A and B are shown apart, each in its own frame.
Chain A
Amino acid sequence: MDYEAVIGLEVHAQLLTESKIFCGCATRFGAPPNTQVCPVCLGMPGTLPVLNRRAVEFALKMALATHCRVAPESVFARKNYFYPDLPKGYQISQYERPLAEHGYLDIQVNGTSRRIGITRIHLEEDAGKLIHSDTRPVSFVDFNRTGVPLIEIVSEPELRTPEEAVAYLQGLRNILLYLGICDGNLEEGSLRCDANISLRPVGETAFGTKVEIKNMNSFRFLRQALEYEIRRQRALLLEGREILQETRLWDAAKGQTFSMRGKEEAHDYRYFPDPDLVPLKVSDAWLEDIRRSLPELPAARTRRFMEEYGLPEYDAGVLTADKALADYFEAVLATFPRPKQVSNWIMAEVLRELKKEEAGIASLKVAPRDLGRLLALVEEGAISGKMAKMVFEDMVTSGRDPETIIRERGLTQISDAGALEAQAREILAAHPKEVADYRAGKTKVLGFFVGQLMKRTKGQANPQLANEIFRKLLAD
């Protein structure tokens, strides 16, 4: 029997406010433990939370950017559970009446576009951070993160493959970065993702028993964990066994998910409206202000790249799917204003480098201005396209500018027709058979002659010029 996967993602994004959601403690990452805490976020009796207006504005931006309906009035609720990272014994979240609902995100996978529903976006506070001792049965608690504002973005169970799940998370992250409301760092946990996944026979409309997976702190781990879980659940179903509803953790080192807690221990959160916080009202005027303040988002930027720069839809889509990459592209254009050439170079050479290193554009040592100058040198005929690739590889590792590399490695192109012609004549004289072949109609031999010339000039002959010279000499 064939099964299909049903996947939904719960994504938590830390908002880039200066201060926490309900108190004035700083949110700076990496501060020494328990130096950004106060009676409010430590849950001292008698303290009262007061909502950070900017946290709401950031959440509203995300809601609008993902086409959600914003509730004119939403309510904060207490989610009650005991855990050492939660000093109050409850997390302030939103439950029955979230900030926003019924949005969507369009994703592209293998050239096909799909619209993935967003069930809801709500505001909540982050919990503290636990570090477990390697040597003793204790954990260390740091409450600096307690009360950092989060939005939780819940998708509909409409994702069908690990690739779609990754594309969806990338799409959300990209919008968060465009909006400038989250730094999107999966490894540091400023963006976190849990997945719900179940399998069902193809054609079946009811859902199977779902499993929740946590602890996937990279796109690769998300894909691997979902692939593993699909294999695991399929094997169980094929054996006629039951799937347990449970929470499983991804273990990156082992490449497996393992059970964290079962249904019998499932939390019973006893949500109720938080009496300390009045309902959050969002007026039409406020929402309109937010709407007007939205920056250019990925979809609009794609359209602009097509219209303003004449790029094909595919190029425009790839470039704008990563804000930093799109910014890089436009920065190169400032030095070398030929959009299609810059795009080609980025799509081929730059993306290949990034893929090799599994890194983002931010880690690329090549400054946009230097790439622009390199392309300009090709355009001027100072170096060949082939040399440019060599120079680029050097730039990637050394971070040096192209002129320095070209000078030091003696990579100038010979565009002196007279000098090349003399050598070309010698080559023809040394290969009478090939010359005869060419004249008999085997024009492919031209490549052989050009190759010989390249060898003699150590690759410095202008290839276009070399082609012309041989064609001319052989036609004589």
Chain B
Amino acid sequence: MAISPEEVLHVASLARLTLAPEEVGLFTRQLGEILAYVNKLAEVDTAGVTPMTHVLPEPEAFREDRVSDSLPREEALTNAPAREEGAFVVPRVI
């Protein structure tokens, strides 16, 4: 098995997901299958191949340091479940 139930629970907690016991088993099996599938890549001989993080060539991908318009605050807060005095309100975190 490529992934243990403990690892599934750990990843779930990092993602703030609560899993039912039967889901732990289901996802352990499914994620294991996915990982095993992706692991096929390990069969390729990559000795002498430079690791690559991006597929694009080398475009100049900069912007100049100029200020552009921000969103009107009303719009920025449109999807906020709760707001007060222009701020998003969230459950206390500390």
Contacts and interface: CB of A to CB of B under 8 A. Distances in A.
Q: Do A and B bind each other?
A: yes
A45 to B, nearest CB: 12
A50 B92 CA distance: 33
Contact of B58 (A82, A133, A278): A278
Contacts of A142: 86-87
Contacts of A180: none
B92 A275 contact: no
Contact of B70 (A35, A84, A277): A35
B18 interface: no
Contacts of B15: 82
Interface string A411-429: 0000000000000000000
Given A82-B16, A278-B58, A279-B54, A52 B88 contact: no
A361 interface: no
A274 B88 CA distance: 27
A275 B56 CA distance: 10
B53 A50 contact: no
B41 to A, nearest CB: 15
Interface string B45-86: 000000001101011011111111111010011000010111
Given A37-B76, A82-B16, A140-B88, A51 B63 contact: yes
Contact of A33 (B66, B87, B90, B94): B87
Contacts of B68: 19, 23-25, 38
Interface in A132-190: 132-133, 136-143
Given A24-B63, A133-B92, A34 B76 contact: yes
Nearest to B65: A54
B65 A33 contact: no
Contact of A18 (B56, B59, B65): B65
A83 interface: yes
Given A37-B71, A138-B90, A270 B64 contact: no
Contact of B54 (A33, A81, A278): A278
A33 B85 contact: yes
Contact of A51 (B54, B61, B87): B61
Contacts of B92: 132-133, 136-139
A277 B55 CA distance: 11
B44 interface: no
Question: Interface residues of B: mostly helix, strand, loop or mixed?
Answer: loop
A131 interface: yes
Contact of A50 (B54, B63, B89): B63
Contacts of B86: 32-35, 142
A130 interface: yes
Nearest to B77: A34
A38 B71 contact: yes
A39 interface: yes
B93 A140 contact: no
A34 B88 contact: yes
Nearest to A80: B14
A56 B65 CA distance: 11
B2 to A, nearest CB: 17
Nearest to A137: B92
A141 B53 contact: no
A460 B36 CA distance: 94
B91 interface: yes
Contacts of A220: none
A439 to B, nearest CB: 80
Contacts of A84: 88, 90, 93
A55 interface: yes
A375 interface: no
A256 interface: no
A198 interface: no
Interface in A9-26: 17-19, 23-26
Contacts of B70: 25-26, 35-38
A23 B63 CA distance: 8
A268 interface: yes
A141 B54 contact: no
Given A32-B86, A37-B76, A52 B91 contact: no
Contacts of A37: 70-71, 76
Contacts of B62: 50-53, 56
15 contacts: A19-B66, A19-B67, A23-B68, A34-B73, A50-B63, A51-B61, A52-B64, A82-B16, A84-B88, A132-B94, A133-B92, A141-B89, A275-B54, A278-B58, A279-B53
Given A18-B65, A38-B69, 7 more contacts: A50-B61, A51-B62, A51-B63, A84-B90, A138-B91, A140-B85, A278-B56
Interface of A: 17-19, 23-26, 32-39, 42, 50-56, 75, 80-84, 130-133, 136-143, 268, 270, 273, 275, 277-279, 281
- Ranked nearest first, the 9 interchain pairs of A and B with the lowest CB-CB distance are A24-B68, A54-B65, A140-B87, A273-B53, A53-B62, A141-B88, A137-B92, A33-B86, A84-B90
